[in-house]
Structure 1
Amino acid sequence: REGQDPVETQHQKTFIGKIPIMLRSTYCLLNGLTDRDLTELNECPLDPGGYFIINGSEKVLIAQEKMATNTVYVFSMKDGKYVYKTEIRSCMENTSRPTSTLWVNMLARGGQSVKKSAIGQRIIAILPYIKQEIPIMIVFRALGFVADRDILEHIIYDFDD
């Protein structure tokens, strides 16, 4: 209420749920016990722990790695259709929408894929929801860049370099 000091209430021992504890962690009862004590508790002294017991079943956490979103990744290919492959996984932050992937690849020419010569090679894009390869110049024209010079200014950092 207005004009009154806020009331502070302390709740002690409020049940908020069951939280599993990893075996042999610092909060586990088995932590720090001798081999003899573990044997008396019907626990194997050689068991390293690192897992959880939930409803009587062992549960293990498996780490997963995934590539970061909204980052450009360039891969140099040894053999195959492309000399270089670029992958961009885009997503809006703070939403549950799935990522959208754009590929921009440089096609290999004949037997020159080993030399990594980029002069005169075609660059294509594979857009989300479109399975067909599209030349990068057509993609830029669809985005409103009509003149070749305008397109090159967005691709090449410095014309004098």
Structure 2
Amino acid sequence: MLRSTYCLLSGLTDRDLTELNECPLDPGGYFIINGSEKVLIAQEKMATNTVYVFAMKDGKYAFKSEIRSCLEHSSRPTSTLWVNMMARGGQAIKKAAIGQRIIAILPYIKQEIPVMIVFRALGFVADRDILEHIIYDFEDPEMMEMVKPSLDEAFVIQEQNVALNFIGARGARPGVTKEKRIKYAREILQ
């Protein structure tokens, strides 16, 4: 790299640089490869298979969480899942009049899906089974109150196939049979 400690030009005075037809004002920091300048640009990329949670100041959501899932030894592209907690008093809350809900945004699905319906589609049908995966301490009343609106919202869907159909209907094209919608939802949740 030009002007690094390993460069022939490092440590030379301005006069020496001028004699070598080098600009003394050139800061360096780049490479010369086959006669052309090359620059390394650092890139930041979020790690895959890690959950990131963001507290939102204003807007529709109070908290947003994101995970980019990727199989380790596969050429399949990463898929992103968001799980968001609605903000208190947001426009979506007034419209639904339910409270502070938790929703999931799944890849290839056009609408937000209540997170409890996603759990039911994954095979956790009983409320207690779902809560065991969300809440650490069942004696914590604050945590129980936070998930209560989401449980109430998903009360109408109590079976895995109904939950899969619910998700598939929001992603598959219109007119597809129920079996194909369920298959579509299963493939998305894989």
The TM tier, using the shorter chain, reads 0.7 to 0.9
CA distance in 2, matches of 1:52, 1:150: 58
1:128 aligns with 107
Considering Cα pairs closer than 8 Å and 6+ residues apart, tell me whether 1 or 2 has the greater RCO. 2
Q: Does 1:69 align with 2:53?
A: no
Q: Does 1:79 align with 2:58?
A: yes
Deviates more, 1:79-88 or 1:52-61: 52-61
Deviation string 1:62-108 (CA, Å, 9 cap, x unpaired) is 11112221111111111111111110111123444322110001112
Q: Which runs of 5+ in 2 are unaligned?
A: 92-97, 141-190
Name which of 112, 118, 131 aligns with 1:152. 131
Give the letter for the 1:99 counterpart: T
Q: Whose radius of gyration is greater, 1 or 2? A: 1
- For normalisation by structure 1, the TM-score amounts to 0.74
Quote the RMSD (CA, aligned, Å). Answer: 2.2
Q: Does 1:48 align with 2:27?
A: yes
Higher helix proportion = 2
Contact 2:61 2:85 (C-alpha < 8 Å) held by counterparts:
yes
Give the letter for the 1:82 counterpart: Y
Give the letter for the 1:53 counterpart: I
Name which of 8, 13, 32 aligns with 2:11. 32
CA distance in 1, matches of 2:21, 2:107: 56
- For normalisation by structure 2, the TM-score amounts to 0.64
CA distance in 2, matches of 1:160, 1:32: 68
CA distance in 2, matches of 1:30, 1:98: 45
Give the letter for the 1:85 counterpart: K
1:50 deviation in Å? Answer: 0.6
Number of residue-to-residue matches in the alignment: 135
Give the 4+ runs in structure 1 shifted more than 3 A.
94-97
Q: Does 1:89 align with 2:65?
A: no
Q: Which runs of 5+ in 1 are unaligned?
A: 1-21, 113-118
Partner SS, residue 130 of structure 2 = helix
Structure 1 residues 145 and 111: alpha-carbon distance in aligned structure 2, compared to 1, 3 A threshold: closer
